[in-house]
Structure 1
């Protein structure tokens, strides 16, 4: 599978706390465990030409992973539209943490994608609500993260086609932290954990979920439909 991991790659350059956790960037850590799983992985970042997402890169990407936070507005409109179009054509998309506010995700959802949040070292317990789903393979009844940023309901997204995880936070909130959608021929998985000041992407269960999500999101030959004026496939009898 050809995977592209996109990261705005700003916090790691500007915040020493984040630099210590992810010295080569969040994208490098995610690419690393996906490469260990046997995938062909490329990375792309905001400050590269075309944000690293040229027409050729997108055309050769089976699944795109997106992480963004502080620079959503700097993503060029035409690049966001190109990513959206590729999803409609069948490219899988895994949206991580604060990428809920990315241009790409909001375009595909058609809503504000807003939510409540708090940075207070909350413990997060993420409950599996669909144990038969392939994204939960290898995960028990729940996975627990010692410290994370809190996200709370209401999460302004369309009703998920599949709800995979619900998180409970130490401060009392809950959140739909794993949800899937289909748009056109493409499949989308939103997965909540991953605030930049915590080492969340080193967590083996979080890594397992991302690996499962990538595998689920890959297009496996969904037929391409033809739209517009259509000729009959049977003879139409004269009236």
Structure 2
């Protein structure tokens, strides 16, 4: 897989290129760039299949690259030294990222995952990423749901509930939309706004705006689509406090 590395730090480029050469033999580094303008020129000249893109490139942002490639024909793996910066937006759009200094096993895992997965709708992924970066209070507007068939793109406020199904997650949304995601429920809990979504049970996350009734005897909530979601005894008091009913 032909690749390029975009980073304003030459030491980071050297370190990442060395790890790729030694541990990712299927990747071929065609070149490197220290800024967005040079990255655009390099991409147009080499047509890489994969771009390792630093989130912060001097005074520029790596996301600015999508102004030139709104429907990129290449995959992107973001790199960043800042663990929390923009990671929720990146995850929500199903792009992968690596924290600096890059861990060898994490790199190998991300590259292997990329080689095995079906290519996503790049324009949709870019739009989800950019919309979520603009969102206030670090809350997401839309989320890309990965599945074995591809990706579903759902407005976060339309999600009614999420239910664990082994390593997978069942997602119920408005208008009867249902998806089975390859992400586990814990990954969704990290992404979704806790002011809107609550983990009522190890197997359930519910949208608070879609709760119709709490069934005390059954310790369940009735949702707007008539689904019953469990509320564990450990979560019950915290859940009821949200509605000042404790």
Tell me: higher relative CO, structure 1 or 2? Use CA pairs within 8 A at least 6 residues apart.
1
Q: With structure 1 as the length reference, what TM-score do the two structures score?
A: 0.38
Q: With structure 2 as the length reference, what TM-score do the two structures score?
A: 0.37
Greater fraction of residues in helix: 2
